[in-house]
Structure 1
Amino acid sequence: MATAVKVDEGAKSRLEELQAEIRLRTGKTVTQQDLLTRLIDDAYESRDAVIDSFREATVPLTDAEKDAMRRDRFRSGVETDESDIDDVLYG
């Protein structure tokens, strides 16, 4: 049983573009319903990432997050200052 879902014009337009690109690249015509089903199935497989995309950024970090960061740190033996970081990031 199909159910109507309202989406804004931008989302509808992007869905139509994706539908057209699939047709161009594969030669197959897919319905928007089939496309949405595929997208939902794919999102379901990576649901943690989808769920996290709706979280608000947490600043400051929780104690558990701080502990996890400290646990994964290591010393390379190389002293680093701000100019070193700038050189790596910005060349």
Structure 2
Amino acid sequence: MASIALDEQTERRLDKLRAAVRRRTGQPISRAELLERLVEDAYGSRGEVVDMFRTSQAYVADEETGTVHRPERKLIPGGPERPDE
């Protein structure tokens, strides 16, 4: 597995997300597993991820709870499969 450098704020947010998962599920989760799942989710919505960079949309995290969401995310059930871009 490759190492990546994260800034302090991103590391704090990642740890808060891990803590939230542990609290709500009773199961510990590693940073690697959490990042894998986040990437898997983003990969399934890669058009939206690309659009975030076009429109400056980003993930928004609540500093206290670590809750993360994407503003104005619109999911279309049963949409067509997208080829790898």
What is the match of residue 28 of structure 1?
A: 27
Gaps of 5+ in 2: 57-85
CA-CA distance at 1:7 after TM superposition: 1.2
Q: Distance in 2 between matches of 1:56 and 1:42?
A: 19
Q: What amino acid is aligned across from residue 41 of structure 1 in structure 2? A: E
Structure 1 segments (4+ residues) deviating >6 Å: none
Q: Greater helix percent: which structure?
A: 1
1:43 partnered with 2:45: no
Q: RMSD over aligned Cα, in angstroms?
A: 1.2
Gaps of 5+ in 1: 58-91
Q: Greater strand percent: which structure?
A: 2
1:28-86 deviation digits (Å, cap 9, x = unpaired): 001000000000000000001110111157xxxxxxxxxxxxxxxxxxxxxxxxxxxxx
Q: Distance in 2 between matches of 1:56 and 1:36?
A: 23
| Higher RCO structure, 1 or 2 (CA under 8 Å, sep 6+) | 2
Q: What amino acid is aligned across from residue 17 of structure 1 in structure 2? A: K
| SS, match of residue 54 in structure 1 | helix
What is the match of residue 55 of structure 1?
A: 54
Larger-Rg structure? 1
| SS, match of residue 50 in structure 1 | helix
